[in-house]
Amino acid sequence: MPIEQFLSVEQLAHLPAGVDRPAYDRDAVTNGIVHFGPGAFHRVHQGWYVDDLLAQDPRWAISAAALQTSAVRDALAPQGNLYTVAVLDERVSFRVIGALTEMLVAPEDIGAVLRRLAAPTTHLVTITVTEKGYCLDARGDLDVSRAEIRQDLATPRMPRSLIGFLTEGLRLRRTAGLRPCTIVSCDNLVDNGVKLARALGQFVREVDADLARWIEAEARFPRTMVDSITPFTDGALRERVAAALGCRDRWPVQREAFVQWVIEDAFSDATPDWASVGVTVTDDVPAYDRTKLRLLNGAHSTLAYLGSLAGFATVAEAMADPVLAGFVEQLMRVEIMPSIRAPRGLDLGGYTTSLLRRFRNPVMQHSLAQIAWDGSQKLPIRLLGTIADNLRAGRRIERLCLPIAAWLHFIRRSAQDGRELVDPLAAQLLDIGGRANGDAGESLETFLALTQIFPPALAADAQFVRALRQGYRGLDGNEAAGRERVERACAALM
């Protein structure tokens, strides 16, 4: 018999005994957190931790704000903002999360978002808007050429961007005599809190010098590291969740069992007892951050572009190829690990082994296409920084350059096959990719001129250009020969 009922507050009492549900009275909680970017990762990660927190402290429910579309709100509002997290690993489990109590859509009601930011009960702002949501240029400065930043500079009381909303929210709090919220970036940016504070300061100084001085003196932007592999929601997940719950969830989400959140011990207002729910509060976030961004995310991007060229669809499929898996392990252990200062107490070799096991998890259908999104924003953080460090230290870079070359072929094939490219620089990249030919030197010269991606000093480095050209030539070929060619290029560097 088909399942027709949907998840709702009323349905909570009728869920099967094996399905976890909120361990608190949702009517008794207070919104203490505003979150920008209520996508899948936020819901499996921060939402999960806060759900645990609310069982012991009702002050920290989440008011989520979408900066662009109403899709998440439209799906979850009929469910009372409840949603299901499916944890898919050796042990499969299902949990209904109640931490999101309000869903706002900024373009529809700017005032509602600002009122929540300025509320006396709001003490934390958390953020998952991906790298491009910070509107940074290649130097890490605020990109004032972005349309949303130009608009917010012209009309700061009616913000459109993340930076604009944070600025106006802080202005309203200062006017009301409130302390600034602690603003917590949870996106994959090295020194994410530092970069957010810098970009925000550059914006605020243009619109209100007094406010800028207050923010600099009083506000805190702790650095963070977040981790849990989170594939797309697909039809198979929806059916699996429906079977487990006995009712349908309009937008369930999934992740692996492993989950981690590290926050710098730097807060400007009241803060939860994070340690009580498994969050690490430390003064050494950069070490955790670099370890994860370079080893996990760098390897993920490597698998995304080489695996896509080889014809694989998921991380687990790519890792089942012994040549590609062997290449990725060598990349991690030989060229990435030496660039990292490990956090206190963390064995990098053991951490790498655990990552390789996580990548092989057959239950997780983590799409390579999803990881391949926004390469222009991700690769400078995930791989190019490691390349620059290795060059300075006289270490090898040949393996590191192969996934960069694979990305360039990914762009070229997307352009020539008419495929959609999800990237803020899509128009430029597709134009270059459409003109790329078999001449590695000419093609690379055009790509390397993109200073938003390749720092000029790196683009001019003869060793880097030579290694990138070698990798580009090694991967060149027709689609049919993709897997063989990728394996040959990988094997040549092992």
3-state class (DSSP) for residue 486? helix
What pTM was estimated for this model as a whole? 0.84
Beta partners for 260? 227
User: Could you write out the DSSP letters of every residue in 312-333?
Assistant: --BHHHHHTSHHHHHHHHHIII
CA-closest candidate to residue 450, choices 441, 438, 459: 459
In which order are the strands placed within the sheet that holds 182-185?
A: 100-105, 61-66, 31-36, 124-127, 182-185
The helix (H) or strand (E) run that includes residue 120 is none
d(C-alpha 319, C-alpha 327), whole Å: 10
Residues ≥6 apart with Cβ < 8 Å to 344? 284, 287
What phi-psi label fits residue 374: left (phi over 0), alpha (psi between -120 and 50 degrees) or beta? left
Encode the chain (494 residues) as per-residue pLDDT tens digits: 678 899 999 999 999 999 999 999 999 999 999 999 999 999 999 999 999 999 999 999 999 999 999 999 999 999 999 999 999 998 999 999 999 999 999 999 999 999 999 999 999 999 999 988 999 987 889 999 999 999 999 999 999 999 999 999 999 999 999 999 999 999 988 899 999 999 999 999 999 999 999 999 999 999 999 999 999 999 999 999 999 999 999 999 999 999 999 999 999 999 999 999 999 999 999 999 899 999 999 999 999 999 999 999 999 999 999 999 999 999 999 999 999 998 888 899 999 999 999 999 988 888 999 999 999 999 999 999 999 999 999 999 999 999 999 999 999 999 988 999 999 999 999 999 888 766 666 778 889 999 989 999 999 999 999 999 999 999 986 554 689 999 999 999 98
Rg (CA), the chain: 23
Domains of the chain: 10-282 (3.40.50.720), 286-491 (1.10.1040.10)
Q: Which amino acid is at 124?
A: L
With beta carbons less than 8 A apart as the criterion, state whether 62 and 43 touch. no
Pairwise CA distance, residues 302 & 285, whole Å: 24
93 Rama sector, left if φ>0, alpha if ψ -120 to 50, beta otherwise: beta
| DSSP structure class, residue 367 | B
> How far is it, in rounded angstroms, from Cα 203 to Cα 156?
10
d(CA 404, CA 399): 9
Q: How many helices (H) and strands (E) does the chain have?
A: 23, 11
10 Å CB burial of residue 442 (0-12, 13-18, 19+) is exposed
Q: Strand order in 280-282's β-sheet? A: 224-227, 260-264, 280-282
The amino acid present at 270, given as its one-letter code, is A
Query: Residue 183 and residue 493: Cα distance in Å, rounded?
Result: 43
Q: What is the 3-state secondary structure (H, E, C) of 149-199?
A: HHHHHHCCCCCCCHHHHHHHHHHHHHHCCCCCCEEEECCCCCCHHHHHHHH
DSSP label of 107 = T
Query: How far is it, in rounded angstroms, from Cα 389 to Cα 392?
Result: 5
